[in-house]
Structure 1
């Protein structure tokens, strides 16, 4: 069975027990979860990790994250308390959540395109460690790594 595209991998990996919590913790530490999930996808596929490739992912992600994803997320989070008491705002917040998810999907598609020609290597297991925030979150990182390998196995049988 062929390798799944990054979006399919991301949905399946994120749905695993503990991954959402781990990703939110890593996000609070300043990590871009889309880049991190892409890194997990690259790692389980055996794609070689190096500084140039990490920089390429960040160059793709940073503008989209700053201009699109973060403003949508900030507005959605700002509306949370008000939406608890206002049905119309609750519906708008849900629609906004859908836009945020679409923006993340677009980012994952861009990251997949950027990494399309990258080759495999014996040193591929460095992606998550290389992109993890400094000084912590080891348990969250291992949760994501384990989920990524389980997802790859489930989706490809390899």
Structure 2
């Protein structure tokens, strides 16, 4: 693979409208790290197989539930109180940075898991995105399409 996942994910995520699209997909139950990985794999023409999909999902699930989601939950729970408490605002910012660090680590693990998967599919397909979006892809098709478009731009 020629392009590293983290820089790709940052470039896609910061495109206009993509952050909101990803948050809508996340609210619908998708794992944004898996979706960014899926877009990266699609862009490079890495063929989707059931085994490869299982590898990524089984790697992401425990990290998401045990590391990322608890950080996100505390950060979200502190949102209202932090509006009037500068010390809590600062702590909340630190939590946000930890959450991003945890997401970056998950992306590194997902990238490492895909090392050696040859680019033998059609580049710029959306097979991975469709597979890893699950139910969220059905409930938020416009958000998924926006992410897919950003990944090929």
TM-score category of the 2 structures, normalised to the smaller one: over 0.9
What is the TM-score normalised by the length of structure 2?
Answer: 0.93
Tell me if 1:138 matches 2:137: no
The CA RMSD over aligned residues, in Å, is: 1.2
Gaps of 5+ in 1: 151-158
Q: How far is the alpha carbon of 1:138 from its aligned partner?
A: 1.1
2:31–2:133 contact (8 Å) kept in structure 1 = no
Name the residue aligned to 1:129. Answer: 130
**CA distance in 1: counterparts of 2:78 and 2:121, whole angstroms:** 46
Q: How far is the alpha carbon of 1:122 from its aligned partner?
A: 3.0
Stretches of 4+ aligned residues off by more than 6 angstroms: none
For the residue of structure 1 that corresponds to 2:78, the secondary structure is: helix
**CA distance in 2: counterparts of 1:19 and 1:120, whole angstroms:** 26
Name the residue aligned to 1:76. Answer: 75
Q: How far is the alpha carbon of 1:4 from its aligned partner?
A: 2.0
What is the TM-score normalised by the length of structure 1?
Answer: 0.90
1:13–1:147 contact (8 Å) kept in structure 2 = yes
Gaps of 5+ in 2: none
1:38–1:111 contact (8 Å) kept in structure 2 = yes
1:91-143 Cα deviation digits (max 9, x unpaired): 00000000000000000000000011111233562111112232321111110
For the residue of structure 2 that corresponds to 1:34, the secondary structure is: helix
